């Protein structure tokens, strides 16, 4: 018997056919089992929200712009845009005002210094005038005192002469006229002595007043010209001191404004981009080093931390799927299953999702619901150079809430209900 006959007899043998039948039944049961224990959604895909970066101002884009697919491990600030010609007119105007305020304050200080020097000279002149006036009045007081002393001596002499003339007139030796002339001379000298006494009193008053700084001479004010100039300089000094304070305060305020303006210009002269961690550069809409305008789209960043899988399930599964339920997710082409969490369920009649997403979300078909399952964060090494697996197809399994027997009973009930509907709708034969 040939080898072919032995092979044919082996294949046609009963044990081999039974083993093959059992194997096919086991394979079919194994393939059908997930649909009994889980609700399987094979048409899912990985998606993520995008962060769109637009130019906040016009300028030149940096040449170190991250390329498409670049994965951001750690958050950092990177230069983004440099201004071409920032407006510095307000800054220059503040600089001019600050310089003017400083010059005016410095000028006022120099004037105060000059006034101090002039005031020192006027003090010396006033003191010299006062001392000279006191010495002059003292000298006049001495002269008047001497004049009064001589006048009193002459009055005494005139009195003695008058007494003798009266005796001569009584004896008939001298005439009456000579006696009258002697009396008149005596009266004149007495009057001159009284005038000297009055002048002494006036000089004493002027001397006492001059010692206090007030001068009472005719044709002069209460103080000399030097003191009057000092009084004017006091008023001028007060004005200059107020001006120094005002200009100093203005200079300080303008200096603070200049610092703020410089910081503002520094902020406006360039813009730094905050690159959040665990994001991937999904799209680059501008060329590095090019000129961009305000509002122009530059980058799209996809969040690798908040990836999700969009799944379509029949509408009848709406009550069986709740936010927070667990779901098993396997990317097509991978044997590893990941544990996901349902974060939202949206009906078919809900509005179209208007979020900025990396992958296109299909419009839900009538009679279906859209379930979003949040994926766990992958390791950084597996996210690099793969766009965080965004856009890949995935298989999602949801654990059934009912037991296996209950599922069979439910499926059998649905089958019988469907058979009854078909029988009822079938045309009756005559």
Residues 245 and 99 both lie in one domain: yes
Judge if 321 and 297 occupy the same domain.
Answer: no
Based on the fold, state whether residues 99 and 186 are members of the same structural domain. Answer: yes
pLDDT category at 133 given cuts 50, 70, 90 is confident
Whether residue 366 sits in one domain with residue 294 = no
286, 324: one domain: no
Query: Which sign, positive or negative, has the C-alpha torsion 416, 420, 426, 430?
Result: positive
Count H helices and E strands in the chain, helices first.
Answer: 7, 14
Q: How far is CA 150 from the centre of its chain?
A: 93
Closest CA to 388 of 67, 73, 78: 73
What pLDDT score does 419 carry?
58
- Are 311 and 381 within one domain? yes
pLDDT reading at 110 higher than 50: yes
Does residue 178 lie within any of the structural domains?
Answer: yes
Phi then psi for residue 325, to 5 deg, are -70, 155
Contact 296, 271 (CB under 8 A): no
| Of the candidate ranges 172-176, 290-294, 313-317, 394-398, the one whose mean pLDDT is the lowest | 172-176
Identify the H or E element spanning 346.
strand 337-346
User: Global pTM?
Assistant: 0.51
CB atoms within 10 A of CB 117: 10
Alpha helices, DSSP H, located in 172-212: 176-211
Give per-residue pLDDT as tens, 22-58: 777 766 655 554 554 456 666 788 888 888 889 888 8
pLDDT in tens, 340-374: 888 888 776 666 667 788 877 766 677 777 888 88
Same domain, 230 and 325: no
Residues 172 and 69 placed together within one structural domain of the fold:
no
Select the more confidently predicted residue: 114 or 334.
114
Same domain as 237, residue 107: yes
Range of the domain at 334: 34-49+306-418
The whole-angstrom separation of Cα 108 and Cα 31 is 99
Q: Domain count of the chain?
A: 3
Beta-carbon contacts of 301 under 8 Å, excluding residues fewer than 6 positions away, are: 50, 51, 52, 53, 72, 275, 276, 279, 280, 281, 282
Model confidence band, residue 224 (pLDDT cutoffs 50, 70, 90): confident
Examine the fold and report which residue of 304, 319, 340 is the final residue of a domain before the chain moves on. 304
| pLDDT score, position 410 | 58
65 assigned to some structural domain:
yes
- Report the pLDDT value the prediction gives residue 245, as an integer from 0 to 100: 92
Same domain, 142 and 243: yes
Q: Do 62 and 157 sit in the same domain of this protein?
A: no
Same domain for 212 and 111, yes or no, is yes
Q: Which residues of 202-217 are buried (b: 16+ CB within 10 A; e: fewer)?
A: ebeebbebbeeeebee
């Amino acid at each position: 018997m040939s080898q072919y006959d032995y092979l044919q007899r082996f294949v046609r043998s009963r044990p081999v056919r039974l083993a093959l039948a059992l194997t096919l039944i086991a394979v079919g049961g194994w393939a059908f089992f997930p649909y009994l224990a889980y609700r399987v959604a094979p048409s899912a895909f990985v998606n993520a929200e995008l962060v769109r970066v637009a130019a906040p101002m016009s300028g030149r884009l940096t040449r170190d712009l991250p390329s498409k697919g670049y994965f951001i491990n750690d958050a950092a600030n990177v230069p983004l845009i440099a201004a071409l010609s920032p407006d510095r007119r307000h800054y220059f105007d503040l600089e001019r005002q600050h310089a003017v305020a400083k010059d005016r304050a410095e000028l006022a200080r120099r004037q105060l210094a000059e006034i101090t020097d002039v005031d020192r000279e006027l003090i010396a002149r006033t003191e010299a005038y006062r001392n000279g006036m006191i010495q002059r009045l003292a000298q006049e007081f001495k002269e008047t005192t001497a004049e009064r002393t001589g006048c009193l001596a002459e009055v005494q002499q005139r009195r003695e002469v008058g007494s003798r003339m009266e005796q001569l007139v009584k004896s008939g030796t001298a005439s009456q006229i000579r006696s009258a002339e002697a009396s008149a001379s005596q009266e004149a000298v007495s009057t001159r002595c009284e005038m000297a006494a009055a002048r002494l009193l006036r000089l004493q008053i002027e001397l006492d007043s001059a010692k206090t700084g007030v001068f009472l001479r005719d044709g002069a004010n209460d103080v000399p010209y030097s003191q009057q100039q000092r009084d004017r300089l006091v008023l001028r000094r007060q004005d200059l001191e107020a001006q120094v304070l005002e200009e100093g305060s203005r200079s300080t305020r303008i200096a603070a404004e200049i610092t703020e303006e410089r910081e503002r210009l520094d902020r406006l002269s360039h813009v730094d981009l905050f690159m959040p961690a665990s994001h991937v550069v999904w799209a680059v809409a501008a060329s590095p080093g090019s000129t961009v305008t305000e509002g122009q789209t530059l980058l799209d960043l996809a969040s690798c931390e908040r990836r999700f899988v969009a799944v379509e399930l029949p509408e009848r599964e709406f009550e069986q799927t709740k936010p927070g339920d667990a779901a098993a997710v396997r990317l097509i082409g991978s044997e590893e299953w990941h544990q996901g969490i349902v974060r939202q369920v949206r009906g078919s009649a809900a509005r179209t999702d208007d979020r900025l997403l990396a992958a296109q979300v299909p419009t839900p078909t009538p009679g279906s619901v859209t379930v979003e399952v949040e994926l766990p964060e992958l390791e950084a090494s597996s996210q690099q150079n793969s766009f965080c697996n965004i856009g890949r197809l995935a298989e999602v399994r949801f654990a059934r809430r009912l037991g296996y027997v209950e599922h069979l009973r439910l499926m059998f009930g649905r089958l019988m209900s469907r058979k009854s509907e078909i029988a009822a709708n079938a045309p009756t034969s005559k």
